Chain A
Amino acid sequence: MEDFIIILAGLFAYILVAVYIGYRGYRSTTHTLEDYFLAGRGLTVILLFFTIYATYQSAYMYIGVTGFTYTHGVGIWYSNVANLLMGFMFLLIGVPLWKLGKNFGYITQADFFAHRFDSDILRLIIALWMVLGLTPYIGSQVLATGRALSTISEGAISFGLAAALYVITVIIYTSLGGLRGVAWTDLVQGLLMLVFIWVGIFIILGEVGGIGALFEKVQALNPELLSIPGPKGLMTPAAWLGFMLADGLGCIMWIQGWMRFYVGKTWKTMAMMSFLVPIGTTLTFLPAMLIGLSGTVLAPGLTSGDQVFPTLMINYLPVPVTMAIIVGLFAASMSTVDSLSLALSASISKDIYARIQPQTDEKRLVRMGRLWIIAVIVAGGVVGYAAAGTYIVVLLTLLSLSLAAILFPVAIAGIYWKGANKYGSIAGIIAGVIVGVKTLLFGPEFYLGVYGGLWAILACAIVLIIVSLITPTSEKEKKAEQKISNALASPVITLMEVEEAYKLK
């Protein structure tokens, strides 16, 4: 118990630092939509890298990846490949969107789609879909951190109390500092998680006898963990393809990822993410996988794979290191939920609330944004609480990614295909949502051996193409497409539609 008090003290110290950074962000924010939600479009390479890295390397890495490896073996690297795919998409989608964001004053994800397809209905559909699709992901973070803290305290802190502590902290520093605060906390959090996960694995590997001994012992105990499709046969060719594409494309379409496309200081900052982000994620996947494999040697027979890292911490790590890793876990998880809740609140404020109340001024929208942050985090917390004991973290995350990935065909068509129109886009999204909800929520998750998330993306793409080809494109859509094409080809940045972009009255 005394050990646990030391861990809790470290955690509170970290929470105070996060809140302080949020407060500093609050002091330096000018309370415009652009400044609060996009940090004035001025993030440099280091800040942008760490905010992207920390946003994607959540509790999913500490609890999900370690747990998945414990159960299914090295097939978890599908998720690392997905991160590389996400990084590469910065070149095909991120850099163009940076230019368009600067040119046309986009704030939210739906701003691009509404502009390109001249459709406020599309704006509303995308905003609502993101809110609904990403709430489970906030839930998965609450679930993972709550479970870890409860396990480490040996029940002294209940899952509910741990979840409440987590939720309140994120609400405070995110709502205060906006993206400026979030970016700086992400820098601290990213460093913490990267350093501490490596410290943890070095000590755990010492217990196993070194990295060579680890692989030899796993090979003797259960060699299927070291190859695909894994001991339970999950990672079949079709499952690997489906998981990888749903994960990678979902990452890029997640609203918090998309809004990062607008925040780089220059387009070169954005382009560099295509190889910097994969370096960060590959360096994090390795220790996470090694922890999962070490668990099969040191702690066999756990009922849930998600318990492996907390169990190893309790039994094999000295208290100061456990404290550091718990702080890293909280940092990893919070850095995801802060970005996500900020992006969702921007979307609710600008895409939904400002359409219902068009008289609202910018300052009021920012104030409303702070309230929406509270609402989405609390809603996510409730989902996570309700999901406790049902889904494992990786699968809950994959569900959320798959629901977001449905938008990918519409994004690609919006940038690269001038024949795409709003009818095709809306019909495609509806088709993708129907297939996604049917397969992923009602099951079966696999059809003809392929993961339902991939079927949903394919359904969206096929319907988008067919409907766009057989329905007319309005003149306004054609003009919007032409302007976007011209902006992408031109080396000139001109805020062409500043009044329209911020038109709130």
Chain B
Amino acid sequence: MKKFWFAGKVAVTLLMLYAIVLFLIIYEYPILGAVDSPTLTAGVPTFILFIWIVNTCYIIVTAIVVYWMFSNAKKIEWKATSQKEGA
């Protein structure tokens, strides 16, 4: 795993795990199939309701993660001189 100026190796690994859990488990069939139903829930198809709830959670959680990245990152600076090869 790589280290970034905005996140260390552990944080980047956690970011990847977040994506895997979200897109390969929560948004996938074992869960979608379980919540899916031809009946309506609160007047809305259950499937659509579930997707919207998860989408909203994604947007909130990811915005928090991004805010954390902003506060955690080292300030980007411009350096006019060339770095040494491989430095």
Interface set of A (CB-CB < 8 Å, partner B)? 74, 77, 80-81, 84-85, 87-88, 91-92, 95-96, 99, 211-212, 215-216, 219, 223-224, 226-228, 237, 240-241, 244-245, 248, 266-268, 271-272, 274-275, 278-279, 282, 289, 415-416, 479, 482-483, 485-486, 488-494, 496
Contacts and interface: CB of A to CB of B under 8 A. Distances in A.
Contacts of B83: 486, 492, 494, 496
A224 B47 CA distance: 12
A486 B85 CA distance: 10
22 contacts: A74-B45, A74-B47, A80-B55, A92-B12, A92-B16, A211-B43, A216-B43, A226-B40, A227-B46, A227-B47, A240-B28, A271-B6, A274-B66, A278-B62, A282-B59, A415-B2, A486-B86, A491-B74, A493-B77, A494-B81, A494-B82, A494-B83
A237 B23 CA distance: 13
A239 to B, nearest CB: 10
A488 B7 CA distance: 10
A492 B74 CA distance: 9
Main DSSP-derived SS at the B contact region: mixed
B5 A491 contact: yes
B76 A240 contact: no
B66 A244 contact: no
Nearest to A482: B86
Given A77-B51, A492-B77, A494-B82, 18 more contacts: A85-B23, A87-B62, A91-B66, A92-B15, A99-B5, A223-B38, A224-B38, A226-B38, A226-B40, A248-B23, A271-B70, A278-B59, A282-B55, A415-B2, A486-B83, A489-B4, A489-B5, A490-B5
Contact of B40 (A85, A219, A274): A219
Given A74-B48, A490-B5, A84 B55 contact: yes
A125 B8 CA distance: 33
B32 A240 contact: yes
B29 to A, nearest CB: 4
Contacts of B4: 95-96, 488-489
A493 B55 contact: no
Nearest to A87: B62
B64 to A, nearest CB: 9
A382 B81 CA distance: 49
A224 B28 CA distance: 19
B69 A494 contact: no
A233 to B, nearest CB: 14
Given A74-B45, A91-B15, A240-B32, A275 B23 contact: no
Given A227-B36, A227-B45, A267 B58 contact: no
Contacts of A275: 58-59, 62-63, 66
